[in-house]
Structure 1
Amino acid sequence: MRRAVNFGVPLLAGLLASWTIVAQFDARARVVALAEELHEKIVDRPQFTITAISVPGVSRDLAEQIRVAAFVRLPASSLELDVNAVRERIEALDAVQRARVRALPSGILEIQAVERVPVVVWRAPGGIELLDSGGVRVAEVDSRMRRPDLPLIAGDGAAAHVPEALALLKLADPVGARVRGLVRVGDRRWDLVLDRDQVVKLPEDNPTAALGQVMALEASAEVLKRDVSVIDMRDPARPVLRLTERAVTELKRLKTGKTGEDA
């Protein structure tokens, strides 16, 4: 009896405890399996199934980029899809300003994106990029001639001053056909570059006012049509005109001829 009490009772207690634990695990496993089965039945219902992705209102190339960036494997369940994560991946694209993602009852994942519109071509130190009006990169291109319709800016730091560049280019509209681009010098000021190797050097402060003076001279005296290589407006109070080599040579010839006649 003593042995039965000393060994049998603990053994029985251990068996009962083990059975209880096993029963609990078994019951828990049944509950988990039931929950998973119920979840699958709900998730797999047709009304929650996404079978297509729609990207309206953007270019075909961007729509394809968005579908790839969304990283949604179809068919997918709208209940399991993290639309915020999808939106963040899409907004990480350079060409997308913002996006809205929603699952429609028709089984379509609709992605509405606001596309960044390039307004200038930037010849950056590392390549050629298209920038929007805020100076944000839209895309990278292999040649400036990919977008000959857009004005060209160049130089370090030019991307941070796109609004100012656009204002200067608008002022230069009277000679717009001759404008080759704007060059940012030392990330401090702009040079307006025209054909015939003409350059208008603008000051650091208030370059629009200085260029306005040049455009007024052009309107009244057609100064940019003359043999002038540089119009230096870095000191607007004392503008400097540099003649072309041909004009300098002709001026020297005229002076020499005049001196000979006087002699």
Structure 2
Amino acid sequence: MQGLNFHRGQDAGRPAPVRHAPARPAPSQQPRPVRKDPAPSRLAYRLNRMMLRPLVRRLVHVGLPAFLAALVAGIWLSDDTRRAHLTGGLDALVDRVQNRDEFLVKMMTIEGASPVVDKGLRAMLPVELPASSFDIDLEKLRERVLKLDAVEAVDLRIKPGGVLSAVVTERVPALLWRHARGIELLDKTGHRVASVTSREVRGDLPIISGEGADRAAAEALALIDAAGPILPRLRGLERMGERRWDVVLDRGQRIKLPENGALPALERAIAIDRAQHMLDRDLSVVDLRQQQRPVVQLGLEAQNAIRRARGQPELGPDGKAIAAETAKKTSGNGKKKSG
């Protein structure tokens, strides 16, 4: 082919030039450095093993920094001047936040309370309005309000607009309780509502008397409800020995009820009265304490009528027999007055 010129001649068999390899360096006469053992020391091994424990890691990562921070803070706060400045700054910051308009209570509204309770509740506020809502502890205020005898429940809330709302539920008087210290109003549970000076203040309420009568107010109300037919004659209930009731009627009559089963006993007495007009007779006491043996006690006039029929001396109001001469004088004086 044109362009390719192969020359074959006497130079074709000449060998390629020889290249001499570089000589190897002579071995160094200096000693080789000793290689470091990659295995850890005993101390490093033990420290690594300790760091694998969760408790040690927490102490190193959390406990130690916290201790150092507390140490620095303690050293810084050991100075009285720095501590006073810090306290004053925090107090000023808290006051600025608490006294913002969003947290101010400007007025108080009370619903369902009588004028006396309303006045007492407003007097129990720990601060004068307007005041910060942070200065009014609603739980403590609720506990103080519930200590009022006339208050059964109260709902305290701070409404938007800075209004402290109090919804009061007062106790409803159901009984008058006469005892050695005076007369008090009780609700249906026997809780004290208020004190009164006389029975005429609440003449519409039934009256009970005796020590411990307030603790049995619920039973007393049940007895009063059951005494419907004789209710116009009922004067009250008297607690005897803090364990049972006596029903007191007009004309000095009294029904003694048992300690247990007082309500059924009163219902039986009312049934007998409706059938036989027992209470219309001259009886002073109807004793129902023993269910199998009811006992009645005659009045003074009935007893004297029987004693006159038997020829016995009459009895006086004290229950003692009157001498015959005194009885004649009394009857003679009665004749002179009538004449």
Contact persistence 1:70–1:90 (CA under 8 A): no
Residue 238 (structure 1) aligned with residue 288 (structure 2) = no
* 1:75 to partner: Cα distance: 1.6
Contact persistence 1:50–1:75 (CA under 8 A): yes
CA distance in 1, matches of 2:82, 2:304: 104
* 1:106 to partner: Cα distance: 2.1
State the partner residue of 1:9: none
State the partner residue of 2:17: none
* 1:34 to partner: Cα distance: 4.0
Distance 1:236 1:72, change over 3 A: farther
TM-score (norm 1): 0.81
State the partner residue of 1:125: 180
Tell me which moved more, 32-41 or 172-181: 32-41
What CA deviation, in whole Å up to 9, does each residue of 1:217-242 have, x standing for no partner?
A: 12222222222211111112221222
- Percent identity reads 40
State the partner residue of 2:282: 227
* 1:71 to partner: Cα distance: 3.8
State the partner residue of 2:128: 73
Higher relative contact order, structure no. (Cα contacts within 8 Å, ≥ 6 residues apart): 1
Contact persistence 1:70–1:89 (CA under 8 A): no
Q: Alignment partner of 1:113: what SS?
A: strand
Tell me which moved more, 40-49 or 81-90: 40-49
* 1:255 to partner: Cα distance: 6.6
User: Which structure: larger Rg?
Assistant: 2
Q: Alignment partner of 2:165: what SS?
A: strand
Structure 2 unaligned residues grouped into runs of 5+:
1-74, 312-339
CA distance in 2, matches of 1:65, 1:196: 44
CA distance in 2, matches of 1:216, 1:198: 17
* 1:213 to partner: Cα distance: 0.6
State the partner residue of 2:270: 215
State the partner residue of 1:114: 169
TM-score (norm 2): 0.64
State the partner residue of 1:6: none
Contact persistence 1:55–1:110 (CA under 8 A): yes
Partner AA of 1:248 in structure 2: Q
State the partner residue of 2:41: none
CA distance in 1, matches of 2:161, 2:185: 37
Contact persistence 1:233–1:239 (CA under 8 A): yes
State the partner residue of 2:16: none
Q: Let me know the Cα RMSD of the aligned residues.
A: 2.4
State the partner residue of 2:14: none
Contact persistence 1:70–1:87 (CA under 8 A): no
CA distance in 1, matches of 2:164, 2:266: 51
Q: In proportion to residue count, which structure has more strand?
A: 1
Residue 138 (structure 1) aligned with residue 138 (structure 2) = no
Q: Alignment partner of 1:79: what SS?
A: helix
